[in-house]
A and B are shown apart, each in its own frame.
Chain A
Amino acid sequence: MTPHRFTELAEAYGGDLQRWPSAERDAAQALLASGDSTLNAVLREASWLDGQLDGHQLPAVSPQLMRQIVADAREERSFWARSFSWLFGASFVGVGVAGIAAGILVASLTLPLAVEHEALPNVFDSGDGDVVFNLDAAEETPQ
């Protein structure tokens, strides 16, 4: 550490060595302990500006803002929870509908045509039922 580098650090980081880069702090402390009075003057000048900067006051954080941010967090997290529940519910319903449709398909392929209209769940409208019934009737009609 040279006096020139010491001055550079003070001009950049201020008069408190704790704010200086940790890798150069010990060397700066050792140089300061050597008794060079110009270095103390450098630190005093940098510390004067530190004192001025510390005088910059900010308003205290308002409890209202804190409450608002906490409320935002709860809303945000409940939004994602609701979205997740909705997606989970929608997928559950989707699986159920797919299962019913598969059941209908299996039933329609395996049951005898004559009893098909009885075996079908009540998910078709009556028009579809009539078509099935009429087809049955047509097949049984002697030519």
Chain B
Amino acid sequence: MNEPDPDVELLARIGHNEPAAIEEMVKRKLPRLLALASRLLGDAEEAKDVAQESFLRIWKHAADWRTGQARFDTWLHRVTLNLCHDRLRRRKAQPLADEDQTSELADTAPRPDEQLEAAAQSRQVADALAALPDRQREAIVLQYYQGLSNIEAAALLNISVEALESLLSRARRTLRNTLAAHRGDARPGGGQ
């Protein structure tokens, strides 16, 4: 955490209204934010909305950003996480809104066989992630997919590192069992 924040210089340039800095920030952060929101929400369109809202927060705060508390990337994850929480809460309040949310992530264009198989496997992983309890899904998305440190991920979830490890272990156990069942238990030591 003592390492210099790699985003601070870019934020200062945005504060000085440099158009190139705005584009660079979008290129740097959009894929990460979109991946986070897509995996948490399982809905590509909602993920795009969340990414756009997250960027509006960036533009509002860039000029006033002060180093010393959280890294900018961690703050951005918190913003996106909160926006996803809002949408998940609304979704739970309207449980019949849409049954097959993860399907929107899949590209339905015709593909060669290998790509079709990869798309099918991707769908299975998406479904397995979507079936996890919210907190377990958040833990695995933040730590594994977003590559945050255990300390950062635990702080974002407002839990201890030990509690994070517990969430991760339970998530990975469930995912392993679900995906092994799809693959005919092809995992190492899985009995195939």
Residues of A within 8 A of B (CB): 8-9, 11-14, 19, 21-22, 41, 44-46, 48-50, 52-53, 55-59, 61, 65-66, 68-70, 72-74, 76-77
**Top 3 nearest A-B pairs by Cβ distance?**
A56-B125, A12-B168, A57-B122
Name the prevailing secondary structure of the A interface residues. helix
Q: How many A-B residue pairs have CB under 8 A?
A: 112
The CB with the most chain A CB atoms within 10 A, among B23, B175, B187, is that of: B187
Q: Within the assembled complex, what's the spacing in Å between the Cα atoms of A12 and B172? A: 7
Indicate whether B22 reaches chain A with its CB closer than 8 angstroms.
yes
The CB with the most chain B CB atoms within 10 A, among A8, A12, A53, is that of: A12
Q: Which residues of B from 51 to 92 have beta carbons under 8 Å from A?
A: 51-52, 55-56, 59-60
- The answer to whether B144 and A65 have CB atoms under 8 Å apart is no
Q: Within the assembled complex, what's the spacing in Å between the Cα atoms of A66 and B129? A: 27
- The answer to whether B119 and A57 have CB atoms under 8 Å apart is yes
- The answer to whether A66 and B30 have CB atoms under 8 Å apart is yes
Could you mark each residue 125-158 of chain B with 1 if its beta carbon is under 8 Å from any beta carbon of chain A, else 0? 1100100000000001001110101100000000
Indicate whether B11 reaches chain A with its CB closer than 8 angstroms.
no
- The answer to whether B144 and A48 have CB atoms under 8 Å apart is no
User: 8 extra interchain contacts, Cβ-Cβ under 8 A, other than A12-B169, A55-B125, A73-B59?
Assistant: A13-B144, A49-B172, A53-B125, A53-B144, A56-B125, A56-B145, A65-B30, A66-B27
Residues of B within 8 A of A (CB): 17, 19, 22-23, 26-27, 30-31, 34-35, 38-39, 44, 48, 51-52, 55-56, 59-60, 105, 107, 118-119, 121-122, 125-126, 129, 140, 143-145, 147, 149-150, 161, 164-166, 168-169, 172-173, 175-176, 179, 183, 187-189
Contact of A55 among B23, B121, B140, B150 (CB under 8 A): B121
Q: Contacts A53-B125, A69-B26, A70-B23 hold; do A76 and B165 have CB atoms under 8 A apart?
A: no
Name the residue of chain A whose CB is nearest to the CB of B31.
A61
22 intermolecular pairs with C-beta atoms under 8 Å apart: A11-B173, A13-B165, A21-B161, A46-B172, A50-B144, A52-B121, A52-B175, A53-B140, A53-B145, A56-B126, A57-B118, A57-B119, A59-B107, A61-B31, A61-B34, A65-B30, A65-B48, A72-B55, A72-B59, A73-B55, A74-B19, A77-B17
Q: Could you tell me the distance in whole angstroms from the C-beta of B20 to the nearest C-beta in chain A? A: 10
- Note all chain A residues with C-beta closer than 8 A to B143: 13, 19
- Note all chain A residues with C-beta closer than 8 A to B144: 13-14, 19, 50, 53
